[in-house]
A and B are shown apart, each in its own frame.
Chain A
């Protein structure tokens, strides 16, 4: 269990790699990805499969790209996390997804399952930046 919890967060070294290798302009994923932006970071994500079905496990692929002007001011120990919750219901998933670095700036997160229909909010944290995206699951 501890290993699983730890796997969701990446350490500072990993983010430093992506900051050097993945400029914001390259923050893209193949297929129909959603792109989120904050002052310091851009993030593209997509689910596999698309669309997500209630009660079916799915995978999230991420491209994370700190922006050049923000990278210099990045916190000393930045981290990346990915999760989701239902704001109206005030609960999250019953599963804890794991996130792993696939290549510089690219991540794969497994263990996702939305167990109810309705509005879910993906929440990604890149260092101190919080990027969120709402989706409605039928």
Chain B
């Protein structure tokens, strides 16, 4: 009898240590599996001939931390995309030469995106990397100034030649595009590490209930809301937790100084007017297959006030939230969707969003789930000073 009791107590202790595993339905399990594996497969950008090149990554990293790309010498890519702040800046709105209208998105996992920027005005990471260099409010530079820097700096010129197989060309714009492509190659290496959610998801896939049960019950309950009644995963879809598209979520888009942020509508217009889009001469892919999105993107009235659904990996480290940084915490984000004012939504927009009306415990569970998307350890190598470039 004593032995039986001891066994029972040991079993109970093991269960307590192992935690609990909710009984997810087969449909829920399928939905959970769609958010992995992580890291997701990736292949180099065919529109960028140096995508995936180690030499280009080295050049891009040098340029990312290069203040002289801005004529003032005071603003660099890393001013807003700060490595120790999750590659964003923690500010409500980004501050370049002046404060701009939008929140700085992290560049972690940016290689997986289809469109770039909150409004998707960039159809490639290299084009998106050129934009802030030229923007008078951000870095305030130009092609001539950036090209002169790369041609005139021995180290940068050497790295450029190693990355592209030839010295910086005479045409300023060609050098600027090369800078964008090297910056893109570097940013493509910035990928987040595995998370407690990934451990849970992979354990479920393997049928390892003991490991799956280590995932906190609150996060499991929050996940159930995320893929179920919350319908969050409809837009925050897939391994990146983003479908890469644009939605009106009822966040005001009026600007502090007057006017409105046109969001995706303005983004598409800028995209199609850009000399750096994938339909233009700087796309390195002869077939132009990667330009299918640009060739077919539809400009609709409903695009006013739409902004990209951001990926949610490491989301707990990238406050504040929304395109204008107007929501301070994850709890506030959940409250936004719980108490959504549908009168703020476009009348001709999608009819997907409805107030979730979450109980306090449900809201806390959803936050616990979102926090479980934080990497357990960085997957990035420690940064080190680059070795001198020898031509």
Contact = CB atoms under 8 A, between A and B. Distances in A.
Interface of A: 1, 4, 54-55, 57, 86, 88-91, 93-98, 110-111, 113, 115-118, 138
B296 A111 contact: yes
A54 B296 contact: no
B333 interface: no
B235 A116 contact: yes
A94 B243 CA distance: 12
B305 interface: no
Given A89-B351, A91-B349, A91-B350, A57 B293 contact: yes
Contacts of B299: 1
Given A55-B237, A89-B350, A138-B30, A98 B243 contact: no
18 contacts: A54-B237, A55-B244, A55-B245, A57-B292, A86-B350, A91-B350, A94-B245, A94-B298, A95-B293, A96-B296, A96-B297, A111-B295, A113-B296, A116-B234, A116-B237, A116-B243, A117-B233, A138-B34
Interface in B53-107: none
Mostly, the B contact residues are loop
A110 B296 contact: yes
B350 A55 contact: no
B298 A89 contact: no
A95 B296 contact: yes
A67 to B, nearest CB: 31
A107 to B, nearest CB: 16
Given A138-B30, A138-B34, A54 B238 contact: yes
A37 to B, nearest CB: 29
Contact of A97 (B272, B296, B349): B296
Contact of B298 (A54, A57, A96): A96
B241 interface: no
Contact of A55 (B30, B238, B295): B238
Nearest to B242: A55
B360 interface: no
A4 B352 contact: no
Contacts of A4: 295-296
Q: Output the residue of B233, B272, B299, B350 with the most chain A CB within 10 A.
A: B350
B116 interface: no
Contacts of B238: 54-55
Q: Output the residue of B30, B244, B272 with the most chain A CB within 10 A.
A: B244
Given A110-B292, A116-B235, A90 B350 contact: yes
Contacts of A1: 272, 299
Contacts of B350: 86, 89-91
B30 A117 contact: no
Given A55-B114, A90-B351, A94-B298, A113 B293 contact: yes
Sort A-B residue pairs by CB-CB distance and give the 7 closest, nearest first.
A111-B296, A91-B350, A95-B296, A96-B298, A115-B245, A90-B351, A89-B350
B237 A117 contact: yes
